[in-house]
Structure formats: structure tokens, C-alpha cells
Amino acid sequence: MVKALVNVLVAFSVAIVSFNVSAGIESPKQVSDKLWVMGTPSNEQLTEFSNKGGEIVINLLSQKEMKDSEEAAVVTRNGMAYYHVPVNGADGVTLENARMVDRILLRNSDKTALVHCASSNRVGALMALRAGWLNGMSVENALEVGRKHGMTSLEDKVKSMLTD
């Protein structure tokens, strides 16, 4: 009986570890005084973010990914501002979307913000484009900004966009 229980606990622990690894970034991650990034937050994480001083949430999930989501209601119920910039996978990693996120962050530069997608990969990609195209950073420095914000599999696409 004890051996069976240990096997179940080990299997459960492995499942948790592989979930965290697949999230792409330690969630949530504070990347500056006023900016946090992460994969999809739970309702509890959104409430906790608000309780710890969070003021705005920028959601980059596509409309399809938002099916049955209560996120907007949870965010506003907790007194935070909610922004939805749908980024439809790699095709949604565009200058237009980077500009939209940039405008939101600039208008709210005095507020503590959380930016998220499913894994923080799109967050990092848009932050890299923002750094390179809008803030004039070199390609390598912009890519480093992207990595810091969670960019993983979109790096080649972003590098190509920044060098074109």
C-alpha cells in the first residue's frame, strides 16, 4: 500500500514538473519594477496579482484560446484594468500588435502590469519587436529582451523580422 502511494506521488510530481517546464517561463516572472509576465494565469493568480498591487492585465491570447474564459470579469472585479490584444500564434506576432502593447504600457507606465499569453512566448516576441523596432535596440539586444520576457520558439521568426 505504501509503495503504491509513493508511486502515485512520484507520478504526480513528475506531471507537475513537466507542466512547469512546458510553461516556457517561471510563472509569474517579474521583469522590472512594474512589469510581470507569465503564461495563462488562473483566476486565483489574477486575484493574488491584484492583492499585491497589480493594476492592469494585458492578455495576448487569441479569441479561440479565450473560449469560456472569465478573465476579463475576474480582472475588473478585482479593480484592475483589462486589455485584450489577440495574438493568433506566430502569425499574430506583428508590428501592429507590438505597437498596441507599447501604447498600453506607455499610457500606464506608472502602473504595475501583467502581460500574458499561453506560455509567455508571444509576450517575449512582442517585447523583442518593441525593443528593436520601437526603441531602436540592436537585434541581439532586442532578442535578449524577448528571451527575458519568455520568448522561446518564436525567436527565429522575430530575428528574421528584425533583420529584414
Q: Is 101 strand, coil or helix?
A: helix
Instruction: Tell whether 3 is covered by a domain.
Output: no
Instruction: Tell whether 5 is covered by a domain.
Output: no
For residue 69, the enclosing domain spans 25-163
Q: Which three cell numbers stand for residue 136?
A: 531602436
pTM of the model: 0.84
**Residues 32-41 pLDDT 10s:** 999 999 999 9
Low-confidence ranges of the chain (pLDDT < 50): 2, 4-25
Q: Is 32 strand, coil or helix?
A: strand
Please report, for the domain that includes residue 54, its CATH number.
3.90.190.10
Instruction: Tell whether 61 is covered by a domain.
Output: yes
Torsion of CA 16, 17, 19, 24, to 10 degrees: 150
* pLDDT in the model for residue 27: 74
Instruction: Tell whether 137 is covered by a domain.
Output: yes
What is d(CA 160, CA 164) in angstroms, rounded to the nearest whole number? 6
Instruction: Tell whether 45 is covered by a domain.
Output: yes
Domain count, the chain: 1
